[in-house]
Structure 1
């Protein structure tokens, strides 16, 4: 499987990180990710550390990456990250 734009493969995961201008903006982004997660019924590992957000996608029940992970990553790619 290919990698979604802006994401890196690390083992059986897709990983991407973002840096935001403030903790509040990083938290807003995490909340937007949560809405996408509920829509997909697919829940990433989310690491929030002050202004830094890291997402790790994998389908644990299938033992690795599935088309859902790539679709989820593509949906995250359209979220605004520049506010």
Structure 2
């Protein structure tokens, strides 16, 4: 089930599929900072990610200043990390790789 909170061992396993993401100390969220050439690249990244997030019905917590985008993913309804967090994280990694 995509919305079921993952067990700690599953989270550790899934962390290996992501690039540069960090697991929070409490194990309930993952975060990554992305850096781009300029604001337009950062905003383009966010726009492309927003389309994917909408399709997954999973919306990130994120913050943008100039060329930086900070992202935090968790599934609030499940009380922690689910497959959707990792699916969106992987998609963000792919999108960022095309833009750098």
Please, what TM-score do these two structures have when normalized by structure 2?
0.76
Distance in 2 between residues matched to 1:63 and 1:69, nearest whole Å: 12
Query: Structure 1 or 2: larger strand share?
Result: 1
**Aligned counterpart, 1:81:** 99
Number of aligned positions between the proteins? 82
How many Å apart are 1:81 and its aligned residue?
2.6
**Aligned-CA RMSD value:** 1.1
| Paired residues of 2:49 and 2:91 also in contact (CA < 8 A) | no
2:5 pairs with 1:5: no
Gaps of 5+ in 2: 1-10
SS of the residue corresponding to residue 42 of structure 2 reads helix
Query: Structure 1 or 2: larger helix share?
Result: 2
Distance in 1 between residues matched to 2:39 and 2:91, nearest whole Å: 22
Specify the structure having the higher radius of gyration (Cα).
2
Match among 53, 78, 81 for residue 65 of structure 1: 81
User: For residues 55-76 of structure 1, what are the alpha-carbon distances to aligned partners after superposition, in whole Å with 9 as ceiling and x for unaligned?
Assistant: 1100001111011111111121
